[in-house]
Structures are given as C-alpha cells and as structure tokens.
Amino acid sequence: METMSVQEVVVPMCRGLVGYTHTRLPNRFGHVTQSEVIPILDKAIERYWPFMDSDCHKNFRLTVCGTFLPKCSTGSNAIVLPCRETCFSAKRGCSQKLKQGGTKWPNRQLKCNRFRRKRQGSCLKAVPNHMAPAPLRYAYCEQNTFSACANLSLQIRTLPNMFLQSDERIIQLEMNQYEALLQSRCHDNLAFLLCGVFAPFCPNDQQPFVLPCRETCEEVEMACAEEFQRLYRGLPWPAKLQCHRYPSGSSQQACATPNDAAIA
C-alpha cells in the first residue's frame, strides 16, 4: 500500500485559487507527486484553463483541482474531493461556453457521478467567493497596479490578458505564486516577463495589447527554470510562461523588451 503524503499545493492552475492550501497524495489516478500531476493537467486539462480564468462557472477550477489534488483532511488519512453537486453545477455552467470554444466537458477525468453527494459526508462544496473571477471586463490602457510591476518603465496595461483574465484580484493571486521566485533574483527581467504575461502592455495602435518578446522569455526561463523546480516541488516551467506563446522580436507582430520606454 502506498504511503499517503501531505503536500502544499504548488500547481499554478490551483495554488491560492481554490480555498485550501494542502493536498494529500496519491490521488485517485495514482499520482504520488505534483510533478506527476502536471503532465496530465497539461495534456488533458490545459485547454480548459481559459474557461476557468474567464469564469464559465466559479466551481470549475475547484472541480478540476479538487479531483487531481484533493484537499487534505486535517487529523485523518481521508481526502476531500469535490461534491457531486459542485461538479454538476460547474458542468451545467460551462458546457455551453465549452461548446462555443470547440471543446466539451472532460467526462473521462471529471465524471460527476463518481463524487459523493453533500449529504454523504465531507466534500468540496464551493470555491470561496473572493476566489471566483468576476465577469469579463475590458480595461484598455490603464495604470498598472500590480505590485510586481511597480518599477517597470512600461506602466500602462490592458485587460483582459491572453488567458481571458480581467479580474485584478484573481490575477494578483496568481502572480503571488511567483513571489518566492522573484525573491530569488534568478533574473533581472523576471518581473517584466510576469507583468507582460498577466497584464500585457498597452500599444499606441489598434492591437489589443503587446506581449513580452520571446527572446526575453527565453533568457528568463534559462536562468530561472532550475530555481523554479527547486522552489516548487520539482514542477516544470509553468505553462503560462512557455516562451513559444510569445512573439519573436524578429517577427511582424510587435512585442516588448525591458528597455522599451513606450510601445510604438
């Protein structure tokens, strides 16, 4: 029988965003570390991440995270999974938007009938309200208020970002995940990359926003990936910071570098 272990939740999709801080592994799929969970989330669940961020339903993230990283039940070996009602409410709330986005509810991983009902015992009922994204709003070229961005030369940002996030509370919670990495000073441009990803820069033309250049991202990843693994239980470089997502400085699409004082 595998030994169960209590671990702090460090998976970026879930950390600080679901109302609990620790998980107990192995989970129902047999994953014993969070670094084993990540490839499954990336392969099977990553395409659903924008729907979590834009809030197709406040319980969608809790259902995903609670399934793969069940909450640790203090004082016992029990794990706390999402309630059946929690799962079904997310499925009802998200199915139409998922269909519009060309995908559907991940029944293979998130089959709601597998979970217990609320009346059958302890389960994850709902994400706390302050961790549920507000409805999508458009904020074009506003002052950047995120703490990590205070010293950048580019201080005007546009929301929503490329992940359809517009709720500043939720964006700040996600950016807070990287505080230990920022404190490590692994690269001078880490803050620039994080700010350009989560709160992209305001252009002076008709583009919706301008992202960091791929070359800057690659420099930061090369310097910080090993430190990230050390700090976050062996996890790979985060999906949202994968450099292929961002335009090259040699391409036709505009991008920003740390030396830019303004976006032309």
Q: Are 37 and 84 in contact (CB under 8 A)?
A: no
Correct CATH for 5-131 of 1.10.132.20, 1.10.2000.10, 3.10.20.600, 3.40.630.10: 1.10.2000.10
What pLDDT is recorded for position 39?
Answer: 77
- CATH classification code of 139-256: 1.10.2000.10
pTM beyond 0.85, yes or no: yes
DSSP-based three-state secondary structure for 196: helix
Q: Is-same-fold flag (5-131; 139-256)?
A: yes
Question: What is the DSSP secondary-structure string of 6-56?
Answer: EEE---TTTTTSSS--EEEES-TT---SHHHHHHHIIIIIGGGHHHHHTTS
User: Where do the domains of the chain lie?
Assistant: 5-131, 139-256
Please choose, from the candidates 246, 264, 146, the residue with its C-alpha nearest in 3D space to the C-alpha of residue 197.
246
Residues in contact with 157: Cβ distance below 8 Å, sequence separation at least 6, in sequence order: 141, 142, 143, 144, 149, 195, 199, 200, 201, 202, 209
Q: Which tokens is 27 given? A: 């989970």
Q: What is the mean pLDDT of each run of 10 residues along the chain (264 residues)?
A: 80 92 91 85 73 85 94 80 96 92 88 92 88 86 93 93 91 95 97 97 83 97 97 90 93 88 63
What pLDDT is recorded for position 262?
Answer: 64
Helix 190-198 with 214-231: angle, nearest 10 deg? 110
What pLDDT is recorded for position 230?
Answer: 95
